[in-house]
Structure 1
Amino acid sequence: MRGYDTAWFHVAPASWEAVALGRLAKPVKRTNVPDARLLSLYLGEGIVPYKTDKVVHATSEDTSAYQLVLPGDLVLNNQQAWRGSVAVSRLRGIVSPAYVVCQLSESLDRRFAEYLFSCSAARFPYVNSSRGVGDIQRGLAWPLLKAQKFPVPPSETQAGIADYLDRETARIDELVAEQERLIELLRERLDAEADALFQSSKKARHTVVKRVLRPLSRPAVPGLGVVTAFRDGIVTLRSNRREEGYTFSSAESGYQEIRPGDFVFHALDGFAGAVGVSDSHGNATPVYHVCEAVALSDDLTYIARLLRHLGRSGFLATQAPNVRERAVDFRNWSTFGRLPIVLPPAEEQRRVAAHFDDQVAKINSLIDATEQFVELARERREALITAAVTGQIDVREMA
C-alpha cells in the first residue's frame, strides 16, 4: 500500500490530529428517495450545485438506486475523488450511485468541514502501487476512501479557522465579483462598438450573401493541419489553439483546402461567431463555407465582422432552422446565400474593419488582464483555505 499525501503533517501544530476519513464520516444509504432535484459535483470547486433544474420524479423514473443528500452531508464521487470531486453539500437533492454520501461526525465544525473538504487536502491521490490512474477512475471503494487522513484541530480552533476564512474569502469573493462585472461591462462595450460601427450608412447597398461571396471548392491537401473557425472570430489551425475535444478523420473524406485570406463561415456555429478570414493554410471539414469576394473591392474582413455581429446579435438565428441545441443550420449554400446584408462603400468597409479590430484588440487586452487577475485571486483563495485548514498559518495572529 502506498502512503497518502501527508505533507501537512510537517507543518501542522502539535495539537492537531491526523484523523482517517472513516472516523470523520459515516456512509449513509437513503434510497427510494422522494421527488428531488439532481445534484452534481464540479471538480475541485468544493460545492454541490444543482446539475439541472429538472426534478426527478419517483413516480415516473426508476430512482431506486439514487441517494438522497441532505444539507451538511459529505459527498464524494468515487470515480473522481482523487481529482478533488469532494464537498460538503449545502443543498437537498439526489445523486447517482457513483457517489458516496456520508454523515459527518459531530466532532467537525460544519463550516470548518466545508473548507477542509474543498481544498487540495481533500483529494485522494494515491491508493496503492498496483492501481494506475485508469483503475482509480473506475472507482474507489469506501475501504480505500476512508483510509485518507485529514488534519483536524481542536473544536475551538476549527471555529476560529472558519470565522477567519468566512471573513477573508468573502473579501476575495467580493473582489472577484467586481472584476467579473468589469469583464461583463467590457464585453457590453464591444457589442456597443459593433452596433455603432455596423449600422447602415447612407451610401450602403442592400444585397444578399450570394451576390457578395463566391463559394470555393478545393480538394484537401494531404499533410496539412486542420483549420477551425473559433467563436471569437479567429480562423486558424487547431494546433495554434488547442486540439483537445476534436475528432479527427484519418481519411479526411470530404475535407477541403483553406488558404490564408479565405473567408470562412462555420455553417452550424457561424450564428455564434465562428466566422472570419483565415490566417492559416490547412484543411477543413465540409461544414464550412469557404469563399472569396465576388467584387475585388469588397473587404472580406469587414464582411466577416459584419456576419459575426449579425450572428451574435441574434439575427442569423432567425434565418435558418435549428438542428440541435444552440446551433443554426446554414449548411445549405442556398440558405446561407439568401442572407440579407447591407454593405457600405469599399473604402468605408476597410476603415470600419480596421477601427473595429483595433477596438477589439484593446478591449480584449483589458479583458485578458482582468481574467488573469480573477484567476490569481481564486488561486489565492484556494491557497489561503489550504494553509488555514492544514495549520500552515496561525489564524489567531491574523484576527
Structure 2
Amino acid sequence: MTGTAPRWGSRAAANGRFGHLVARTDVRLPGVDLPLLSVSQTRGVVRRSEISDAPPRADSLDAYKVCRKHDIVFNKMSIGAGAVGVAQEDGLVTYHYEVMRAFADSDPRFVTMLMKSDWFIGELVARERGIGAGPKANVRTTEVPFSVMRAVPIWVPTLDEQRAIADYLDEQTAKIDALIAKQNEMIGLLDERRVAAITHVVQRDGQSLTRLGHLADVIDCAHVTAEFVDDDSGYPVASIGQCQGPEVDLSQAPRTTAEFFRLLTFGDRAPQAGDLLFIRNVSVGLASEVPAEVEPFAVGQETVLIRPSRSILTRFVRYGLQSSPTKFAIESAMVGSTFRRINVSRIRALPVPLIPASEQIAVVDRLDSETAQIDALVTRAREHIALAQERRAALITAAVTGQIDVRTATREVMA
C-alpha cells in the first residue's frame, strides 16, 4: 500500500529511498547525565521543560535513547502530526521517538522538511501500524517501523541542492509563520474583547455570584472507554470536537455500538435538549448547548452534562461560564501537568453570575448580537491562518519533490 504519488517536477523524479538519507540510531547509556528533550510541532526539538510543566527528570533514564546534536528526532506514535525536528544539543528522548542520523551527503534540515511534507506524511499514514487507525477513531496509536519508512521512494537531490532547498524553506516558512503569529495574536485580542463584553453585561455592579451547582445539575460522564465503528449505523459520541460552537455539532462525531451507547447513557446521562456539554479535560471550559432537534447521542470521557433548572436559561449559563470571574475560577481549579483538567466537584462549585429570570432573555439576545460580530472577525482570522498553513504545506511539498527550482525562485524574489 502506498500514499498519493507526488507530482514530480520536470527537473526531478524518484531516484532513491528514504533510507539513502538517514540511518536509525538507538543508543542507551545507563547513568548518562543529559537533558530530557521533546518534539514540538511548531518549535522542533526542545528541552521538555520548555513545553511542559511535567517534572524535568524521570525516576530512571536508563531506558531513554541518546540523541546527539544534529540528529533527527521523530514522534513515531503520531505520524500525521508532523512532529519532527533537528536536535540542537545532546539529550535523551523516550522510546516514543525515533532517532535518525543523516549521512554525510544529507542535510538534516532537508530531511526534516521532507518528513513534514503532506506527501511524505501521506506515505507514512498509508503504511501505519497500530490501534485505531480508522478515520473516525477516537484515539490513534500508530507507528511506522523504520524498516518500512526507509523504503519510501523519494527524490534525492545533491547535498548542495538539499542545502539550497532547506535555506529557501527556512526563509519562506518563517515569513508565513510570522503572518500566522499575527493572526493568532489578533484572535487572542478578540477573545479578550469577547470576555470583557460578556462580563460587562452579565456581571452587575455589587452583584453576588452563586455556585453553578445551585443553578444546575452537573452530571459526570460514565468513564467508559467506548468502541467505535467506521460507518453511520452506530450512535454519535460527543466530546471536544463537537463542542466548538454555541451548539453541539454531531456531523463529524465518532459513532459507537448500541451496547456501549447504553452504558454511556445509563441513568440520567442521556443528553437532553437544553443541556450544556462542558469539556473538563485538555480544552477545559468549552461549553455547547444541546439543540432541540438532535438524534440520540452519548458524551465522551472528557465531558460532563450541565442541566440548568427551569428558572435559568441555558444560554445565560453558557455566557456566565465565559465571564471573567468564572474563567478565572476554572483556571485556578485545574489540576494536572501535561493534560490539564478540572474535577467535577470543582465544576459544581464554580462561581457564576445570576440575574432575574425576567431579564435573562434580553441579556442573551444582546450578547448574541455583540459576540456574533466578534466571532465573525475570529472566523475570518482563522480562515487566513488555514490558507497560510495550506500555502506553507504546498510550498514544502513542492520544494522537496522538485516541483519548483528553489534557486530560480529565490532569484525571482530578489529581483
1:162 aligns with 2:175: no
Which residue pairs with 1:20 in the alignment?
17
Q: Quote how far apart the aligned CAs of 1:306 are.
A: 2.1
User: Counterparts of 1:28 and 1:69 in 2: how far apart (Å)?
Assistant: 8
Query: Equivalent residue for 1:56?
Result: 57
Letter in 2 for 1:172: I
For residue 382 of structure 1, give the secondary structure of its aligned residue in structure 2: helix
Q: Say which of 190, 195, 213 aligns to 2:194.
A: 190
**For 1:306, which of 314, 320, 328 is the aligned residue?**
320
- Stretch of structure 1 that moved more, 207-216 or 146-155: 207-216
Q: Flag the 1:349–1:116 CA change in 2: closer, same or farther, 3 A.
A: same
2:64 maps to 66
Partner residue of 1:254 out of 267, 273, 297: 267
Does 2:47 align with 1:32? Answer: no
- Partners in 2 of 1:144 and 1:77 — Cα distance? 15
Matched to 2:393, the amino acid is E
Change (3 A) 1:264 1:70: same
Q: CA deviation at 1:11?
A: 2.1
Q: Specify whether residues 293 and 4 from structure 1 end up closer, same or farther in structure 2 by C-alpha distance, changes over 3 A only.
A: closer
Letter in 1 for 2:253: R
Amino acid at match of 1:250: R
Q: Which residue of structure 2 lines up, in the alignment, with residue 175 of structure 1?
A: 179
Amino acid at match of 1:55: P
Question: Which residue is 2:292 aligned to?
Answer: 280
CA distance in 2, matches of 1:233, 1:6: 37
Gaps of 5+ in 1: 218-222
Q: CA deviation at 1:389?
A: 1.9
| Equivalent in 372, 386, 392 of residue 397 of structure 2 | 386
Question: In the alignment, what sits opposite 1:291?
Answer: 308
Q: Which residue of 2 aligns with 1:368?
A: 379
User: Which moves more between the two structures, 78-87 or 31-40?
Assistant: 78-87
Question: Structure 1 residue 382: deviation in Å?
Answer: 1.4
Q: 1:292 to 1:150 in 2, by over 3 A?
A: same
SS in 2 for 1:152: coil
Kindly tell me: are residues 299 and 41 of structure 1, through their superposed partners in 2, closer, same or farther at Cα, counting changes over 3 Å?
closer
Contact 1:266-1:275 within 8 A present in 2 as well: yes
Q: Which moved more, 1:347-356 or 1:365-374?
A: 347-356
CA separation of 1:35 and 1:76: change in aligned 2, threshold 3 A: same
Deviations 1:99-125 (A, max 9, x none): 432221121234333323322354483
Name the TM-score, length of structure 1 as normaliser. 0.73
Structure-2 residue corresponding to 1:356: 367
C-alpha separation between the residues in 2 aligned to 1:380 and 1:22?
28
Q: Are the aligned partners of 1:82 and 1:125 in contact in 2 as well (CA < 8 Å)?
A: no
Deviations 1:191-233 (A, max 9, x none): 111222123157x6x574699747699xxxxx99777797667
The alpha-carbon distance between structure 1 residues 385 and 288, as it changes in their structure 2 partners (threshold 3 A), is closer
- Within-5 A mapping of 1:193-204: 193-201=197-205
Paired residue type of 1:253: F
Shift of 1:80: 5.2
- Counterpart of 2:72, as a letter, is L
CA contact (8 A) 1:4 1:125 kept: yes
Aligned residues: 372
Contact 1:39–1:49 (8 Å) recurs in 2: yes
Residues 351/91 of structure 1: CA separation in 2 closer, same or farther (3 Å cut): farther
1:337-362 CA-partner distances (Å, limit 9, x unpaired): xx766544555433322111212222
What is the CA–CA distance in structure 2 between the aligned matches of 1:225 and 1:3, rounded to whole Å?
A: 31
Largest Rg, 1 or 2: 1
SS in 2 for 1:255: coil
Moved more, 93-102 or 242-251: 242-251
Task: Give the match for residue 224 of structure 2.
Answer: none
Letter in 2 for 1:381: R
Report matched runs for 1:185-224 at 5 Å.
185-201=189-205, 206=208, 208=210, 213=215
Which stretch shifts more, 76-85 or 248-257?
76-85
Alpha-carbon shift at residue 92 of structure 1 (Å): 3.8
Equivalence for 1:239 = 250
The residue correspondences of 1:94-113 to structure 2 (distance < 5 A) are 94-113=92-111
Whether contact under 8 Å (2:218, 2:344) holds in the other structure is: no
Distance 1:152 1:266, change over 3 A: closer
Distance 1:241 1:209, change over 3 A: farther
- Retained in 2: the 8 A contact 1:30–1:68? yes
Distance (Å, rounded) in 2 between the aligned partners of 1:242 and 1:249: 13
Over the aligned positions, Cα root-mean-square deviation in angstroms equals: 4.5
1:388 Cα deviation from its structure 2 partner: 1.3
Instruction: Specify whether residues 276 and 26 from structure 1 end up closer, same or farther in structure 2 by C-alpha distance, changes over 3 A only.
Output: closer
Alignment partner of 1:326 out of 341, 359, 362: 341
State the Cα deviation string for residues 347-399 of structure 1 (Å, max 9, x = none).
Answer: 54333221112122221122122112111111111111111122111223222
Is 1:257–1:284's contact at 8 Å kept on the other side of the alignment? yes
Q: Which residue of 2 aligns with 1:220?
A: none
